[in-house]
Amino acid sequence: MKRPMLVNVRRRSSDETPPAIRTEQDEQALVERIQAGEKELFYALIQPHERRVYVAALAILQNEADAEEVAQDTFLKALTHLGQFRWQAKFSTWLIQIAVNEARMRKRKNHPEVMGPLEEHTEEEGYYTPREFADWREIPSEALERKEIRNALVQALSSLAQVYREVFVLRDVHEFSIAETAAALGISVGAVKTRLLRARLMLRDLLAPGLDGTWTSRLSFQKGNKPWT
């Protein structure tokens, strides 16, 4: 891993309109109009998907600049191949599939030494045993106003192995279904479930101290200091 993920805390500025709620029928109609030649509608089509594509790439690459470039390449590729999009998957799944493939290719180029068969077999066998059994203290959403909390969450996620990070991001951050997650990552439904269980329990262990003041001592994620090893 090169640089750690940086926390970007910018909220949408007031001049940007938030993504409109859009039904699948609306999306299908948009895709058909673009396929028929109204290409300028592509900006509107992708707007609700921009963050998802970027975050999916970030989950794999762990580098903001690379993730942004991969996101741009993903949308370019989606545009040039939209004529061949046949609703074999939801549009969002198809987009994330492209992003995942682009990001993996980029990672192979950046790190040829760590890629290859080894990467596929890092999955640990057996079940994960949770470490932390203190009563969970609820972390309310308001806590995310605090930068150290956001940092802790982002760092905890980036300390997971890639196979866990990508499953967690698609399923729990993007709220893809298990089947969509499997399709987007090109893995089996069973593998999604196994990895998801581990990812969720590892993150909970990492964040278990909650707000009782031990964040900083607990959440020092230097290499070799992973609480579950």
Partner 1 sequence: MDLSCEDVWREISNYIDNDLDPHQRAALGAHLGQCRNCAALLEGTRNVIRLYQDERLLALPAGFTKRLHRKLRAEIQGPPGSAFGWAVSLAAACVLGAVFLFANLHQFAQPELKSAHSQPAARWPAGPVAVSDDGKIFHVANCPFLHGKWKLVATREAIQKGYSPCVRCMREYLKVGRGPEAWEPGVEFAEEVESDGAQ
Nearer to partner 1 by C-beta: 76 or 223? 76
Stretch that binds partner 1, among 20-28, 54-62, 216-224 (CB under 8 A): 54-62
- Quick one: 1 or 105, whose CB is closer to partner 1? 105
Q: Is 130 in the site for partner 1 (CB under 8 A)?
A: yes
* Nearest residue (CB) to partner 1, 133 versus 213: 133
In angstroms, rounded to a whole number, what is the distance separating the alpha carbons of residues 225 and 171? 26
CA-based torsion, 107, 109, 111, 116: positive or negative: positive
Pick the binder of partner 1 from 22, 110, 119, 128 (CB under 8 A): 128
In the block, tokens 């069973």 appear at: 190
Residue 199: name the closest of 153, 228, 160, 227 by CA: 160
Span near partner 1 by CB under 8 A; candidates 21-29, 130-138, 219-227: 130-138
Residue 191 half-sphere exposure toward CB, CA atoms < 13 A = 18
Token pair belonging to 49: 């998907």
Q: Residue 125 has what DSSP assignment?
A: P
Spatial separation of the C-alpha atoms in residues 84 and 30, rounded to whole Å:
15
Question: CA angle, corner 166, sides to 92 and 127, nearest 5?
Answer: 130
Residue 115 Cα distances to 105, 118, 167, 199, 215, angstroms: 10, 7, 18, 21, 33
Q: Tell me which of 2, 118, 125, 133 binds partner 1, using CB under 8 A.
A: 133
- Residue 108 or 224 with smaller CB distance to partner 1: 108
Question: Is 15 among the residues that bind partner 1 (CB under 8 A)?
Answer: no
Q: Binder to partner 1 among 25, 141, 220, 222 (CB under 8 A)?
A: 141
Q: Output the smallest distance, CB 161 to partner 1, in A.
A: 17
Under the criterion CB under 8 A, does residue 97 sit at the interface with partner 1?
yes
Q: Which is nearer to partner 1, 29 or 144 (CB)?
A: 144
Contact call for residues 189 and 195 (beta carbons, < 8 A):
no
Give me the 65-94 binding string for partner 1, x by CB under 8 A, dash otherwise: ---x--xx--xxx-xxxxxxxx-x-----x
Query: Segment contacting partner 1 (CB under 8 A): 21-29, 173-181, 219-227?
Result: 173-181
Question: Is the distance from CB of 199 to CB of 165 less than 8 angstroms?
Answer: yes
Q: By CB under 8 A, is residue 131 in contact with partner 1?
A: no
164 part of the interface to partner 1, by CB under 8 A: no
Taking alpha carbons only, the member of 46, 65, 76 closest to residue 106 is 65
40 near partner 1 (CB under 8 A): yes
| Minimal distance, residue 151 CB to partner 1, in Å | 10
